Amino acid sequence: MSGCLARMAEQGFEELVLFHDAGTGLKTAIAIHSTARGPALGGTRMWVYPNEEAAIEDVMCLARGMSYKSAAAELPIGGGKGVIIGDPGRDKSEALFRAYGRFVEKLNGRFITAADMGIEEHDLDCIRLETRHVIGGSALGSPSPLTAYGTLKGIKACTEEVFGSPNLEGLIVTVQGVGSVGMALCKNLAEEGALLIVTDFDQKKVREAVECWNAKAVAPDEIYAQKCDIFAPCGGGGAVNLESLPQLQCRIVAGAANNVLKEKELGAALKERGILYAPDYIINAGGIIFVEFSRQGEKNLEKIKAVIDRIEGRMKEIFRRSREQNLLPEEVADLIAEEKLREKI
């Protein structure tokens, strides 16, 4: 927690709230980065963190990313995120999620939650029993396929930038993490003719990807060193770090994960190795676009997908400015997002 308030001030955070419910064992944090463009909308993640400090670090990084993601996508919402400290395979209960819902309700609509890693649609149904400020659930369906759809559009922009064509047929893509988003992305990539190499700690999901999409499976610690065209991280953050960077044998890093770069300086290191990086909050914005349009009452999926299609053009514009202004793609993305945040609406 040391320096937390200073970091909030430096990065423009509005609020960081911690909550513990003794009855259910709920330990959670919600970070609200910005409400300049509207209420802070962001998913809640349930994860096993090594300590409370790591959970707070994660929720702050994710919340800031949501502000930038929503602003760059020109959505009328701000950015926030929630984390629940716990094992999603062992610690879930209706009582725990209802306690979390009461916590969300206390924020009076400044934060609206949805699903993230470790949270399923039926979990949102439990949260909704205690708060109005939740999007998703069994009735709406998962945003994961739309996140994957937008990521595919962004990958096509990357391949056009690097290889001169958006055609993915015959390209080798390593997918790190085959949860709901990663599996949907595998489906999209396979249908485009890409060859897949996959990994996940959940071997059941790995076997499903192998059987459905004829993917090659490797151990989690072997994924980085696979010779491929595209590395697509679709799990937790920090996939590109000081240990994984020297192992990468790809031309493109483009996936659905948030906070792909463990440290900011790694973007320049990727460029030095001749690897194009797709800014994560630009390429993975399909899910939040779906969630926000659903919140507005839009039910026409084709209309929503037409908005998600703009990710491809947005990525191309970022790469153009990156070349012309001698900036890293993520630096261009930040400039665009910060400009939108200043504009408000």
Cα–Cα dist 157/171, whole Å: 14
- Catalytic site residue from 69, 81, 153, 156: 81
Q: What is the DSSP string of 290-343?
A: HHHHHHTT---HHHHHHHHTHHHHHHHHHHHHHHHHT--HHHHHHHHHHHHHHH
How many Å separate Cα 247 from the centre of its chain?
23
Q: Which of 152, 161, 137, 164 is nearest to 192 (CA)?
A: 152
199 beta partners? 176
- Active site annotation includes 92: no
Burial class (CB in 10 A: 0-12, 13-18, 19+), 170: exposed
Residues 111, 235: Cα–Cα separation, whole Å = 24
Catalytic annotation, residues: 81
